[in-house]
Amino acid sequence: MSLELLPDCRTRELRGTTWVYWGPEWGMVECVRVFCANCGKLSILVPKESCTFAFALCPKCEKLGKIAQMMATPDEVFFRKALEVQQEIYGRELTALEQAEALKDSDHILSKLVRDRKRSAPKE
């Protein structure tokens, strides 16, 4: 049984700029529109700089039923795959230092996973 990915509900094309004041700590923040995955209605705004994935359902669509329990975010799938590879090759999860060393080698399997992840990321 494989996991299905939740769809990324951020707008694909940035038309115009949406700035939101988020208090004295952050000030004005450039935001991306996020639409309901079911009906397409504008749902929320998220910070452009720090948000790499967003899934949303509007209140009306949330009442229609629960999302399938077997769906996951792209980050969950990536980290699960990276852990599986480490377990398969090393029999354990690598330490942060070992992971950093592995990522320096462009031929290492973890480096290849990261490159594949970057290729599949949405384009701006």
Q: pLDDT class for 119, splitting at 50, 70, 90?
A: low
Residue type, 120: S
Phi, psi at residue 41, to the nearest 5°?
Answer: -75, 140
Structure confidence by residue, pLDDT tens digits, 65-115: 666 555 667 777 788 888 888 899 889 988 889 888 888 888 888 888 888
- The domains of the chain are located at 6-67, 74-119
Residue 124 has pLDDT above 50, yes or no: no
So what's the pLDDT on residue 71? 65
Helix (H) / strand (E) containing 42: strand 42-47
Question: Residue 21 contacts by C-beta under 8 Å, 6 or more apart in sequence?
Answer: 27, 28, 29
- Sign, CA torsion 39/44/46/51: negative
